[in-house]
Structure formats: C-alpha cells, structure tokens
Amino acid sequence: MSAQLEAQIEQISLEIERQKDVLQKLESDKIILQRQLNAERDPLARLPLEISSEIFLQCVPLRPEFPSGHSQPQPHLAPLLLLNVCHSWTDIALSTPALWASIRVGFPHPHPLQISLRGALASQVTSAVLGHSPQLQSLRLSFDADDYDVEDLGDRSYELLWSVIGRRIREELPCLQALEIFGRVDFWPRSLMWLPVRRLLDLSPNLTVLNIQRVVFSKNIDEEFEFPRTLVLAHLRHLTHLEEFDNMDISAPVLETLHAPTKSLFTESFISFLRQSPPLWKLKLSGGWDVGNLHDSLSLVPTLTHLESSSSNTLFVKELLHFLAQNTQIVPKLATLQIEDVSNDDDNSPIDILMPLASILSARRGGLQKIRLTTSSSIAILPENLAILRQFSADGLNIHVGVSQGPNILSFAETQVKDKVDKENTEESDGEDGT
C-alpha cells in the first residue's frame, strides 16, 4: 500500500514540474509579446536612436541634488530612472554613452582628501575635484603622461598647473599637509613657471611635506614685482627637490629632513636656502660625483645627525669620508652615515673603500652610532682594514658593509677567512701525510 502511495506522489511531483515548465514558458512568451506591444505603442521607441538619445540627455538634471549622506546617483533620477521604465528604454539608455560620460564627485565633509592629477585633464575634472580644495590633505600633480609631445610638454604642463592652481583654487587650504610635483622621468627635467606653485604654497599655511622631482622653476619679471619677499613655510619639515634651488625663494625655519642632488651643494641658491632653514637633522644627497666645497654647505647644518648619499662613484665617497674624518668640527652630532649603491669606474676591479671607512670610524669614535655602505660591485678586502671594522663592531657600533642586496661583509668575510685557513691547514696536513 505504501509503495502505491509513493508512486502516486512521485507521479504528481513530476506533473507539477512539467506544469511549472509550461508556466515559465508561457510567462516568457507573454513578456516577449508585451515588449513588442510596448514598442508598437511607445512613440519614443519608434524614433531614430539619435533623437531618442537626445531626449534622454535632456532629462538629466544639470545640478542634481542628492540626499544627505549619498554620493552616487539615485534611482528616482535620470539616468538610472530611465533603466527602470521598460526594456526598450533600457536599450536606448545603454546605447547612449553620453548619459554615462560624466560623474558627480561628492566628498562628505569634513573627511580629508588625497588627490592625484595626471596628464592633460579637462577643466571640468579639475573644477569638480578642486571644488573641495578646503578638504585637501594631500595633492599630487604629475606631468609625465604619454599624451604630451616632447616639444610642447613645458607649455602643456604650465597650462595644467595654471588651470589647477591659478584658476581653480581661490581659498586657503588649511588641511593641505603634503604637496608633490613630478615631471617626466624619461626626459630632461621640465621647466615650470614658479608663479602658480608660489600661489599654492601661499595658500597652504600648514604644509609639512614638499616633494618636487624632475622639475625646475623659471620666473618672469612680473613675478619679481608680485612676490618681492621670501616665502616662509612655517611648518615645512620634509623637503625633496632633486634639481637646482634657483628661483625658489622660500625658507623653512623648522625643516628637519632635506633630500637634494649633490650638485646643489655648490650653488649659492642652496647655501642661501640652508642659511634660512635650520635646524636640519637629516640630509640625503643623490648622484655624487664631485665633493666640491663641502665645507660651506655642511658647516651650515651643525644639528645634522643623519647623512645619506646614494648613486655616487667611488672617488666621491672616498673624498666625502676623508673630509668627514679630517673635519670633525663639521656636523659634530653626526650619528648615522648611510652611503648606498656606490659605483666603480672600473667594473672589473673590486672597490677599495674599507681604508677610508676605517679612518672616519677612528676619527669620530664615540659619535657615530650606525654606518651603512653598499656598493654595486665587489669590495676589496684587506685583513688590516677588516680587523679595524670588526673591532668597532665589537665595541657596539652598528656597521653594515656589502654589495647592494647582499650580506654584511663583516660576517661574510670572516667566513671566507675561516674557510681559507681551514683549506690551508688541510693542505698542510695532506702534505705531511704524503711525506
């Protein structure tokens, strides 16, 4: 009896599934027919796409109002509303790219903003973004886009810089703490007018970080009359500028760290800047090839505790170490010396750098606490120099010397020496056994 009931239930279940399929097919056919009927009755659907698209575009409000807390379009407003009427309207809306070619940029107050602008931007974009300039915390301007021709890159860069700063930003930027300006990496540094940058700095009383790379500034005579005074960046603590300091009439009385090219050490503009910008404690130099007159520059930063140099050749590093060893009254508080990626004129010979390194350690004993030196090729190892470095390391000085991305030569060389001694002892033992 139970088996018969189960069979009947199974048969009914199969019939229910069959009827569901029939119902689903009927509903699908009804939807198709309804769409066809709507298309017959809807005058908009019978119009050419160009006309119906233009009608849809006219439905989009010029200045849509969004409810508080919403930063995206609402479904009861065009263009999203046009997607929810019928299938034919959806097809028209999705076939009209201009409906979706603009965006609304909304930033809930008072959250800070970090904005990056790159390339030749339309004025509408800069207007929309920089309309919230009082909330700016970080601004990055890059003039390295591929859509520039080399010949007019300077003019186009200035055009963007002026449109962003000179025309769009009118009020003070109390929240702006970091400003970055980058030129194109694979060409010579770009020349930009100082005027718009000066105005932006004038509007940024709380700026703490300024990073300028691959850009040099130029002035016209009007700027000399408009800005006769030196601009004081009262809160600037970190400055990176990898080109000449010419035409940058600024001072930074609380500057702590400075990253500059080594060649700038010998220019009057850089020395003038250092005179107005104590109390520097960290200086990073890039691309050292000639020490020149180090005395004039380094004597202006007696508070310096951290000195760093990168991408320098062997001659420059040797002369720098010799200068610091012979002039201990210069930067007397120096505690950290970091020299990265030292190159050699002769790639086939090891870099002889340990002797001048040992001399500065001896001259500044008790002052230096950490020294790091890396090279792009192998280092010449002399046992007497290595012994001096090991003694300082044993006394507590933090020393790392080695090839870039390689191990510390102190421990590595010690292993090499031990292996060499073991090998010599083994050979002597084998010789005695043979005798």
pLDDT band at residue 375 using 50, 70 and 90 as cut-offs: confident
pLDDT band at residue 123 using 50, 70 and 90 as cut-offs: low
Q: Are residues 118 and 221 located together in one domain of the fold?
A: yes
pLDDT tens per residue, range 209-260: 999 988 877 766 555 545 557 888 999 999 998 777 777 788 899 999 999 8
pLDDT tens per residue, range 281-305: 999 988 766 666 677 788 888 899 9
**Residue/partner pairs of 65-72 with CB below 8 Å, 24 or more apart:** 66/104, 66/106, 69/108, 70/106, 71/104, 71/106, 71/107, 71/108, 72/104
Q: Are residues 215 and 278 located together in one domain of the fold?
A: no
Residue 20 within any structural domain of the chain: no
- Alpha-carbon distance values, 139 to 62, 135, 206, 241, 242 (Å): 28, 11, 13, 16, 19
pLDDT band at residue 187 using 50, 70 and 90 as cut-offs: low
Q: Residue 190 sits in a domain of what CATH number? A: 3.80.10
- Spell out the SS3 assignment of 178-226: EEEEECCCCCCCEEEEHHHHHHHHHCCCCCCEEEEECEEEECCHHHHHH
Provide the domain count of the chain. Answer: 3
State which of 244, 270, 292 marks the end of a domain. 244
- Alpha-carbon distance values, 411 to 225, 289, 298, 356, 400 (Å): 62, 30, 33, 20, 10
Q: Are residues 78 and 114 located together in one domain of the fold?
A: no
- 364, 326 Cβ separation under 8 angstroms: no
Q: Are residues 430 and 309 located together in one domain of the fold?
A: yes
Q: Are residues 202 and 305 located together in one domain of the fold?
A: no
Residue 37 within any structural domain of the chain: no
- 361, 397 Cβ separation under 8 angstroms: yes
Residue 276 within any structural domain of the chain: yes
Tokens encoding 18: 């069959």
Residue 47 within any structural domain of the chain: no
Q: Please say if the pLDDT value at position 11 is more than 50.
A: yes
The boundaries of the domain holding residue 300 are 256-435
Q: Please say if the pLDDT value at position 273 is more than 50.
A: yes
- Provide the pLDDT for residue 31: 84
Residue 30 within any structural domain of the chain: no
Residue 300 within any structural domain of the chain: yes
Q: Are residues 209 and 162 located together in one domain of the fold?
A: yes
**Number of Cα atoms under 13 Å in the Cβ half of residue 16:** 6
Which comes out higher in pLDDT, residue 117 or 184?
A: 117
Q: Are residues 82 and 201 located together in one domain of the fold?
A: no
Q: Are residues 411 and 264 located together in one domain of the fold?
A: yes
Q: Are residues 127 and 98 located together in one domain of the fold?
A: no
pLDDT tens per residue, range 300-321: 888 999 999 887 788 888 888 8
pTM of the model: 0.68
State which of 211, 244, 277 marks the end of a domain. 244
- Percentage of the chain beyond pLDDT 90 is 14
Q: Which of 41-45, 86-90, 204-208 has the highest mean pLDDT?
A: 204-208
Q: Are residues 333 and 423 located together in one domain of the fold?
A: yes
Averaged over 79-85, what is the pLDDT?
88
State which of 244, 270, 285 marks the end of a domain. 244
Q: Are residues 221 and 307 located together in one domain of the fold?
A: no
Tokens encoding 291: 């020490």
Residue 19 within any structural domain of the chain: no
| Omega before residue 407 within 30° of 0, cis | no
Q: Are residues 285 and 341 located together in one domain of the fold?
A: yes
- 215, 242 Cβ separation under 8 angstroms: no
Single-letter residue type at 180: E
Residue 236 within any structural domain of the chain: yes
